[in-house]
Amino acid sequence: MSLAVSPSPASVGASVVVVTLLDGSRAPVQGADLRLHGDMTHAGMVPLDVALQEQAPGTYSASLDLSMAGDWVLAVRGDLSDGRKLVREFPLSVAPAQP
């Protein structure tokens, strides 16, 4: 699984996250039910929780509003169509809003 955020590098504001899911032979994994949970590494933030929509085979995306600069952790959790579960965390450093 890989995760990309645009704009890149990430900054405060509207962003798009794209998760690419490939199997062991690098074929796209279709039909997964994926959610993204975003939280910061300090206490007291309201976390983000969004569903990722499959845009193309094995490519899932969602819009995010990154509300604060600093260190985030984006956790992707999901159920694959064969019943397996998936959890993976991606650290993300978010810069202040760009002018």
Nearer to Cu ion, 23 or 89 (CB): 89
Nearer to Cu ion, 52 or 66 (CB): 66
User: Using the rule CB under 5 A, which residue among 68, 89, 93, 97 binds Cu ion?
Assistant: 68
Q: How far apart are the first and last CA of the chain?
A: 32
Nearer to Cu ion, 25 or 98 (CB): 98
d(CA 37, CA 51): 9
User: Judged by CB under 5 A, does residue 51 bind Cu ion?
Assistant: no
d(CA 33, CA 78): 5
Shortest approach of Cu ion to residue 39 CB, angstroms?
A: 9
d(CA 64, CA 82): 28
User: Judged by CB under 5 A, does residue 62 bind Cu ion?
Assistant: no
User: Judged by CB under 5 A, does residue 29 bind Cu ion?
Assistant: no
